[in-house]
Chains A and B, each alone.
Chain A
């Protein structure tokens, strides 16, 4: 019954996906919530992030596994967190 190996990735790809999901996913989640502080009161975003943040992080970790290439998902997560954080920074200054 174990999952069919044919659909699973090679060790190197797996390493890329795990790191992308865990590290990259964390930064996407964090920067998105930082950006949200411009739309909603700051402390409300912080307390909501305690709940939505961890769920979003876990979902992003899963999405990394679903992606075909570890490089691609690293790229997507880097661009996303860069955009979110960049916007947050620009709006702040």
Chain B
């Protein structure tokens, strides 16, 4: 390979990697758990979403109670139905009917939720079909939502810096773009030796060799997976980078129009007729009709336009069953006044190019196309990503812990690696601890989860930063994390009586899966800790290693000075 190019790949890979490492670890770690977001919600609230068919959802009960409180005449109502069919986000817009509008603007309606559009009495809230209960966003916040939002750094949005997008999303977007860059340079860097390196694993040699082999082998195995995540991640978080100029230049500056063109929302409007329909329109029969037309499909969005008027239209968007179709989006519009169907596009036939690309982006990113086997595989690949990041940090440190590097630089390098490793590795025990805490406190809401998670994370990171020993950090966080993980199924069993064998037997698979996940993490963690201890005993008592921070640059070292993490 061209030696100049090799060095450039090397340098750009290193720099982009070390800049993003800690944040990328957080994204990968929290993201891996987000595959089980619905399961974690069910686990925390102790309510299995299994054995709840979509047909049991009573939309008319919700519409009736909304109508009694807000007079739905002339309003647009949108349901964003979650994958488990139990929860939906509901958006209720202002009325088209000016006579109703005038009346309702006087009184201040319930402006719940974070996306209140500011339109007088419009509302945005979450609805639970199993309990027939509405809740504000903060009330229905749970650990699944927390980890899901942590994986695109939504909590950083509190930082009052806004450049186009909220701060947290911007940071997450930059991280995933640099990640994409680091992946390309990393691949090119290993291109010549990709086959031989793939089969190279020397677990019994020097630590630096182990880090390098681990970084390369796991990096190469995980490359397609990680590339897919880098690209889809950028798309999902900072697509404004493309949507903004495209809508400006191709759609006359109207981004709504662009989103409609690529089928993200239904911006169609119908002229308000001011002719109220005689009878109340029930929504349930229409959904029944959709499920009969397209068996196995999942109604993902329901748009009601101009409720109760002659011009009322009901549009249902549905995704096909993942068992038969990877891509595809169905859309059907009913006109209740004439009892007719105005448009229909089946989810299983006439799959367009747009549907295919969108399915590729979303299905691959969410890993929701093959049930638990795919989710588990993706989880393991995600955790492998975490290992690639940690080994990358360690290579970076060890490679710079040389006699020809000035002492102040080595001091800084150790300090940086120490902080990064402490922040990353404490995530496992902190997450496990929070799972226990939310189980012990049934009233756990957003504030509670924030407090437990972020304060314990801060405290444990500071502790390990202060101790300045990467080995200790690794060993102790792993041991603590494994023990806490093993406690999670126990705490759940004792507190709720939902022991694993019972949830398995009753078919509450979502609750079972979370317990099983933590059990397996705990067992793997314990095995790893035992292996580390056995290894240490074999090598003999560790010689007191002087951490690089305190090391005075040796005058004439005859051999390479030992690093803080390099084994004697």
Task: Say yes or no: is B537 at the interface (Cβ < 8 Å to chain A).
Answer: no
Besides A50-B239, A54-B177, 12 more A-B contacts (Cβ < 8 Å) are A2-B11, A3-B14, A7-B4, A26-B241, A46-B261, A47-B357, A49-B242, A51-B361, A54-B180, A54-B231, A58-B180, A62-B181
Is chain B's binding surface mostly helix, strand, loop or mixed? Answer: helix
Q: Contact flags (1/0) for B223-253 with A, using CB distance below 8 Å?
A: 0000000010011000101100110011000
Give the interface size bracket for B toward A: 35 or more
Q: Given the interface contacts A3-B11, A3-B14, A8-B7, does A54 sit within 8 Å of B234 by beta carbon?
A: yes
Residues of A within 8 Å of B353, CB to CB, are 44, 47
Task: Give the docked Cα–Cα distance between A34 and B251 (Å).
Answer: 12
Which chain A residues (64-93) contact chain B, with CB distance < 8 Å?
A: 65-66
Chain B contacts of A37 at CB under 8 A? 250
Q: Point out the residues of chain B lying under 8 angstroms from A34, CB to CB.
A: 249-250
Most buried by B among A3, A26, A44, A51: A3
User: In the complex, which of the residues A1, A37, A44 has the most CB atoms of chain B within 10 Å of its own CB atom?
Assistant: A1
- Given known A3-B14, A8-B8, A53-B242, contact A46–B258 (CB-CB < 8 A): yes
User: Roughly how many angstroms separate A61 CA and B231 CA in the complex, as a whole number?
Assistant: 15
For residue A59, CB closer than 8 A to chain B, the reply is yes
With beta carbons under 8 angstroms apart, the residue of B5, B10, B249, B261 that contacts A66 is B5
* 8 closest residue pairs by CB, A with B: A1-B399, A7-B7, A3-B11, A3-B10, A3-B7, A43-B261, A58-B181, A7-B4
A43 touches B231 (CB 8 A): no
Q: In the bound complex, do residue B399 and residue A2 qualify as a contact, i.e. CB atoms below 8 Å apart?
A: yes
Report the number of A-B residue pairs with Cβ-Cβ less than 8 Å: 83
* A61 contacts across to B, CB distance below 8 A: 181
Determine if A23 is an interface residue (Cβ-Cβ < 8 Å).
Answer: no
B257 CB to closest chain A CB (Å) equals 10
Name A's B-contacting residues (CB within 8 A). 1-4, 6-8, 26, 30, 34, 37, 42-44, 46-51, 53-55, 57-59, 61-62, 65-66
Contact A47 B358 (CB under 8 A): yes
Closest to A34 in B: B249
Residues of A within 8 Å of B159, CB to CB, are none
Q: List 13 A-B contacts (CB under 8 A).
A: A26-B241, A30-B245, A43-B261, A46-B258, A47-B354, A48-B357, A49-B242, A50-B239, A50-B361, A51-B360, A54-B235, A55-B180, A62-B12
A26 to chain B: closest residue by CB = B241
Q: In angstroms, how far is the closest chain A Cβ from the Cβ of B371? A: 25
Closest Cβ neighbor of B13 among chain A residues: A3
CB distance from B382 to the nearest CB of A (A): 20
Of all chain A residues, the one with the shortest Cβ separation from B188 is: A62
**Closest residue on chain B to residue A89 by CB atoms:** B249
Q: In the complex, A27→B245 CA distance in Å?
A: 10
Known: A51-B231, A62-B184. A8 touches B250 (CB 8 A): no
What CA separation (Å) do A57 and B184 show in the bound complex? 11
Chain B residue contacts of A59, Cβ below 8 A: 184
Determine the distance from Cα of A50 to Cα of B399 in the docked complex, in whole angstroms. 37
A58 partner residues in chain B, CB cutoff 8 A: 177, 180-181, 184
> What residue of chain A has the Cβ atom nearest to residue B358's Cβ?
A47
Measured between beta carbons, the chain A residues less than 8 angstroms from B399 are: 1-2
Q: How far does the alpha carbon of A4 sit from the alpha carbon of B262 in the complex, in Å?
A: 47
| Most chain B CB inside 10 Å of its own CB: which residue of A1, A43, A47, A62 | A47
CA distance A1 to B357 in the complex (A): 41
List the A side residues contacting B184 at CB < 8 Å. 58-59, 62
B262 touches A43 (CB 8 A): yes
